[in-house]
Amino acid sequence: MTSRLRLTPFPSLQGLLLSLLLSFSLSLQAAPERHAIATAHPIATAAADQILNAGGNAFDAAIAASATLGVVEPYGSGLGGGGFYLLRLVEDDGSVRHLFVDARETAPLKAHPDLYRDEGGDVQRAPSINGALAAGIPGLPAALVHLAEHYGKLPLSQSLAPAITAAEHGFAVTTRYQALGGFRLEAMRSDPETARLFLRDNEIPAEGTLIRQPELAQTLRLLAANGRAGFYQGPVAEQLLKGVQAAGGIWQQADFDQYRIIEREPVSFRLGDTEVISSPLPSAGGIALAQILQGQQHLPATDYASTARTHHLVELMRRSYRDRSVLLGDSDFVDVPVAHLLSADYAAQLARQIDPEQATPSASLGEPQLFSEGNNTTHFSLLDAQGNGVAATLSINLPFGAAMTIPGTGVILNNEMDDFAADIHGVNEYGLAGGKANAVEAGKRPLSSMTPTILDSPDQLMLIGTPGGSRIITMVLLGIEAARQGANAEQIVTRPRFHHQYLPDRIQHESDTFNADERKALEALGHDLHEVGRDYGDMQLVIWHKGSDTLEAASDPRGVGESRVEAAAP
């Protein structure tokens, strides 16, 4: 990363030692003494800020942000879903460690590889997208309790209070709500409770319409009062199971009893003096970032915005997503050669395959295998005054999940079962590729692109992430690229985006990513370019410049989020 602290080189040994000492001291500086927050909605940002100002730490604030986002972004996350939390923990002695909290949904215990096949053996897409059979076992409620019990300073009831208030008082419909609701309108109309809560006269509400969720407020109160038992046992659990089973779903109490949060070691690798800490399986993100960023080190140096650099990145994306399609899945269920895939030697091998003058047809890399992934989640990044940080990406998969809300609970079901490879040879809605490693299996966690990531160097700390389905990984990659070129937080979140995912074999991009000459040059290399017709992503970013002790936070202008940096003390 480009530092904002310029060190003048000294010719003497004394000067060299002084420089090394200063660099070492910066690496140990673990407290910005202020806090910074970026979330996808102003009400969630205010909730996290409220908890930090009340004496909570980053993990208490993460609970507040998570629960509140689930209220005000019912299209992106919620108690009926799950997600990943990447934690930065500052110990009492000033040392720093990182931890990945896996709150991904699990397949119900009655699930099996042929769950979505009809009597004729054909895979039926609709049951994995809409309704009760599409829902995995939620992990978010367990994650909120886990964070409070193991890492927070405040009682869960205090951290959940802003979300309860938001559910009771309501939030105003935004243009983003309208757009994502419009994408799922027919499915929402088909469920009376979803239509009652989130539509008006069976139509998308007008901008500014107040959406209140008193049943969800009560569910949050029970979670706050009783912890895990408030959701996975008792009246809420009974209502959830009754509603799911009545609608043809396969949830049972044993699913709730056996659900567990898993703490995992993050993926970690170095780029010069920068440590990249990212998401391990069942996220494909950390492995992909390691392959692409390390592979880039073995390719000829290119200008940042050049066609050659775009070509190199696309070719590395192509190969990484090919590995994802064939090899990656829940490592608690399948044997994945993680160490090999993360190694610098393997990244160099991928780089050596690249022809600098010609795009590689994806079909030449092997037999295609297909799977899908929902494209709407949410993300937040925050850092407290002690240097503790959280980058978290949460999801219910498609907008408004399975478009089914269980009466009496306010809980919208996820449709994360669609992230499994229901048909490892068939074409799907998003054109993503996947194999047997990600097949449906009881208790298994579906593969995900959610990639909360932290970059830490002697002079700078960055927490980054975004929603966006299969494009999450490449958005985070481009954000890291921009940061390493010295871009500020606002420039990073606004950077135009492009993406390649092996299949379909084309560069997907926003409308303003390439000019006419750049398009022509890429096409001359054999690339097929496809403008996606809309902007995508909703990146949330926090940067701490350790040398100058300044904080930046930025929310993607493509969304409706808000970032805050606590004012410096007078």
The residues that are catalytic are: 377
Contacts with 181 (C-beta within 8 Å, 6 or more apart), sequence order: 75, 188, 198, 199, 204, 205, 399, 400
Does residue 397 have a known ligand-binding role?
yes
Known binder of ligand: residue 395?
A: yes
The four Cα atoms 348, 519, 371, 287 give a dihedral, to 10 degrees, of 30
Beta strand 96-103 with 262-264 is antiparallel
Residue 419 assigned as binding residue: yes
The annotation status of 104 as a binding-site residue, yes or no, is yes
CA distance 553 to 62: 16
Integer Cα distance of 504 and 343 in angstroms = 27
Question: Distance between CA 447 and CA 81 in Å, rounded?
Answer: 14
80 marked among binding-site residues? no
Task: Count CB-CB contacts under 10 A for residue 20.
Answer: 10
Query: Mind giving me the DSSP string for 513-556?
Result: SS-HHHHHHHHHTTPPEEE-SS-----EEEEEETTTTEEEEEE-
In Å, how far are 191, 197, 225, 316 from 402, measured between CA atoms? Answer: 10, 15, 28, 34
Query: Do the beta carbons of residue 528 and residue 503 sit within 8 Å?
Result: no
Identify whether the C-beta of residue 88 lies closer than 8 Å to the C-beta of residue 98.
Answer: yes
Closest residue by Cα to residue 77 from 392, 295, 429, 524 = 392
Q: Which value, to the nearest 10 degrees, does the dihedral of the CA atoms of residues 232, 238, 242, 245 take?
A: 30
53 is in an annotated binding site: no
Residue stretches of the annotated binding site: 104, 395-397, 419, 448-449, 469
Residue positions forming the annotated binding site for L-glutamate: 104, 395-397, 419, 448-449, 469
